[in-house]
Every structure is written in structure tokens, then in C-alpha cells.
Amino acid sequence: MISTMNILFAICAVVCIFRVQDVVGGATEEQMWAAGGLMRDVCLPKFPKVTKEIADGIRAGNLPNEKDAKCYVNCILEMMQTMKKGKFLYEASLKQVEILMPDHYKEEYRAGLAKCKDVAVGVKNNCEAAYTIFTCLRGEITKFVFP
């Protein structure tokens, strides 16, 4: 089990990667993947049924219809500040795109977020809501990036 200290360290590391002076025009792809790796390192141990191979498959867009996989995605989306308690945070997601995404991703991500912002409305289970959002975004964004 990951301790609170490890989670705080991961969050601090993500903040350090994206220092304000480095993100004027968005993050580099290297910075984006480094931040994603930190999120993955925090979330994977919480869901032992999600192996590295399954996580790699999710990264490629193949999300199994299984509880642990859906909850792993929810964990990542919450760390990305895209979801909170099963609710999609559209405005926060737009801000994350501006800060964390390289410029050439932004337009398509903004459009995808807009199309998917309401797909999980009414979904009661946090993990199911994350699955619904993930599936929509994966379908709407051709260069979909997920840790």
C-alpha cells in the first residue's frame, strides 16, 4: 500500500516538472509523459489486478470492462484533476490541457472535452463514470494520451 507521503511526493514531483516558467507554451511531450508516469506509479499499486501489461493496454486505448481497470482509470483521472467523486471537471480539464499538453494537442483535446463533458452525468459509480469519460475521450481524440 502506498503511503500518504509517497502520494504527496508524487504530486510535488508533478508540480516541479511543470514549473511556471517551463509551461508558457504548454509542456513538452517528455514532461507530459514524465508526469503521467508518476501518476501511474501512484495508481497501479492501489489496484493489484491491473498489471503493467493491462495498464499498457489501457494506455493504448483497450480498457477492459472490469472493476479494477475502471477504478485504476478513475484514480489517474482524479490525479489529473479531470474527475472528482465521479464528476467530470470540464473547466479544470480545460485548464490542465492548457498547462500540461504540448501545443499541437490542444485544439483536438478542447473539442473532445467539449463533446464528452456530459456523457457521465447520472452515472452513480465513480469507476463507471471514469470508464464512460475515458471511452468517450478515446473515441473523440485521435492522439489520445493516457499514462
Domain boundaries along the sequence of the chain: 27-140
pTM for this prediction: 0.78
CATH number of 27-140: 1.10.238.20
Using the 8-state DSSP alphabet, how is residue 101 labeled?
S
Alpha carbons 51 and 66: distance in angstroms, whole number:
13
Q: What is the chain's mean pLDDT, rounded?
A: 83
Please calculate the CA angle 8-56-27 and round it to the nearest 5 degrees. Answer: 55
Burial class (CB in 10 A: 0-12, 13-18, 19+), 16: exposed
Q: In the prediction, which pLDDT does 25 show?
A: 56
Higher pLDDT, 35 or 118: 118
72 and 47 Cβ atoms separated by less than 8 Å: yes
Burial class (CB in 10 A: 0-12, 13-18, 19+), 82: buried
